[in-house]
Amino acid sequence: MNVVPDTSAVIDGRVSQRVDDGSYAGATVLVPEAVVAELESQANEGRERGWDGLAELQRLVELAEEGTVTVEYVGGRPESSDKASADEGAIDAVIRDVAQDHDATLLTSDKVQAEVARAKGLAVEYVEARSRDVDSLDIEQFFDEQTMSVHLKTGVRPMAKRGDIGDLHYQTIGDEVLSESELSGFAHDIERSAEASAHGFIELSEPGMQIIQFKDMRIAVARPPFSDGIEITAVRPIVKTDIDDYEFADELRSRLSERQRGVLISGSPGAGKSTFAQAVAEYLADSDYAVKTMEKPRDLQVGPHITQYTELAGSMEKTADSLLMVRPDYTIYDEVRKTSDFRTFADMRLAGVGMIGVVHATRAIDALQRLVGRVELGMIPQVVDTVVYIEAGQVHTVYDVTTEVKVPHGLVEEDLARPVIVIKDFETGKPAYEIYTFNRQVVTVPLKEGEEASDTGVDRLAKQEIEREIRSVARGHVDVELKSQNTAVVYVEDDDISYVIGKGGGRISDIEERLGIDIDVRTHDENPNFGNSSGSSGGGSPAGERVTPEITSRHVIIPLGGHQGDTVEVRAEGEYLFTATVSRGGEIQVSRGSAIAEELEAAIDRGKAITVVPQ
């Protein structure tokens, strides 16, 4: 009797099982080289399936040495094109050809393979794939009721994050250093359990990294060379909440039920953003809304009536296209991080779907600023009209986002009116921020009562504009001091007084008209801070951290490692240039050709010190 096992039968150990029960006594087992190649590839990727299959082949060698069966390796190694199209059945076809050439019975646990082989006229023995009803994993021994995540790595003692939401502590939970064999055993148990149990599945499998979902745990298994050692990180929710558990519950329910909205749920890592998103999803689903989720990986703990979607063919854009056909009332997008995520979020919202996105941010306003440059400024309130900031597991701040055509706060001339995004505190109804375009720059200006004369964002920009205008006619040093919202004093060199004022005061009058502000021109000798000034916006402010920008063909890049997510001011020799939020990659990128980039490059060319000051 000749038997050709395919990859599924070898991985499941079905060949040695048949030999042990006497079904294949004296048989010749013809192992296709295509099976060996597939198992080798899986093992090289760190997948336990590959190692299981190789262990089965070694067991067959032992049985052959005992004389129970004869084992031969036949056929050729698959071509690279066959490996690339393995999911399309190319390797399965090679295995069927081997069975046909040797007039052998094909042993398989793959139902599709079995049906195709029968259609080809081959003798087939189909055996059900092994399954186990697994209720727990070996790593669960490291969890207790207050454990949110467990962190295991070769050569390190077990660690965990324990405590309450907003008050988690990363601590050692074991005395013994973990060995590589222990980590391999845990990883093997996780993967086998996820594949065999109805409670789990493999979310992502790439060389060196697997993401597994098992019950309510999201487990990441990293292996060399992707990581410097085997590492297992298992995360689970430590609490499941209801929307009634949060402040502003009644107001939020009313707001979400009024119509489909665009909501950003923001907060720092571990603050409880996803927990709140789950509570909102459950409330909406219970309120007769069709609710779906978009997640990668899928780890929101929602009921079975809420379908959880992940990337379709590696793309959330394709997932969104499919969801638009499903037409949910609300979609929970966990997490919105990359530019493509924000654009997908915006596209779905503008198509009329209620969208709730989870965003990492250290301040509520930072979440909204992530949309700047990714969505047309005037469209932002149509995409996001509500921002919820979570801190220590509670709703800390809620913002209402609208658009008004008005003169921005701090400016007075009617001809300065423009579309302004107004961010109001949901509880008090008072404006907290304004976002608008000022001198071709998008600025975010905090509004604080009793600080009209302070050095706010508007003040800094006003100083910058005044200084730019005066420098266009003055040859020496220029200092600017704002006296009020509509008056300023400009200090220039003695020789520049006549140039700045112009014949009959015509030149300064033109500047005043353009800027909408009254300007008093004086010499530096009349400046009470003369000798201590450091530019129009640097006096009395922190010196900041000096940086060295890099100019590429498309961007001016300011490296700021350690400041990820921070909002900072960029200055040249103490003079304010612009405000920006540092990316997750620890840098600020300014597109060349923009007004900001031109000013920054000019400062660099003049040898000015470029510094950043956190806000």
Q: Are strands 394-406 and 418-425 parallel, antiparallel or unpaired?
A: antiparallel
Lookup result for tokens 């019975």: 105
The Cβ-side half-sphere exposure at 561, using a 13 Å CA radius, reads 1
Average the pLDDT over each of 286-295, 386-395, 449-458 and give the range with the smallest value: 449-458
In order of 111, 291, 356, 570, the CA distances from 286 in angstroms are: 39, 10, 16, 48
Beta bridge partners of 73: 31
Is pLDDT of 453 > 60?
no
Q: Which residues lie below 8 Å from residue 589, measured CB to CB, with a gap of 6+?
A: 555, 556, 557, 558, 583
Q: Average pLDDT, stretch 459-468?
A: 73
**Burial code of 307-345, b = ≥16 C-beta within 10 A, e = fewer?**
ebbbbeeeebeebbeebeeeebbbbbbbbbeeeebbbbb
> Per 3-state DSSP, what percentage of the chain is helix, strand, and coil (rounded to 5)?
35, 30, 35
Cα 81 from Cα 506, distance rounded (Å): 77
Query: For the sheet containing 386-391, what is the strand order?
Result: 307-309, 291-295, 330-334, 354-360, 262-267, 386-391, 394-406, 418-425, 431-438, 441-446
Determine what percent of the chain is predicted with pLDDT higher than 90: 44
pTM of the model: 0.62
Listed residue (272, 286, 360, 270) closest to 330, CA to CA: 286
Average pLDDT, the chain: 86
Q: What is the predicted pLDDT for the residue at 343?
A: 93
Tell the residue number behind the tokens 């000749």, with chain if given. Answer: 2
Both tokens assigned to 301: 């703990």
- Counting Cβ atoms within 10 Å, is residue 34 exposed (0-12), middle (13-18) or buried (19+)? buried
**Mind listing the pLDDT tens digit for each residue in 185-237?**
999 889 888 877 777 888 888 888 998 989 888 899 999 989 999 999 999 87
DSSP code string of 328-342: -SEEEEE---SHHHH
**pLDDT tens for residues 233-285?**
999 877 778 999 998 999 999 999 999 999 999 998 878 899 999 999 999 99
pLDDT tens-digit profile of 517-566?
Answer: 889 999 888 887 654 444 443 333 445 788 888 888 778 899 888 788 88
Vertex 266 angle, CA 352 and 354, to 5°: 10
pLDDT digits (tens, 9 = 90+) for 323-333: 999 999 999 99
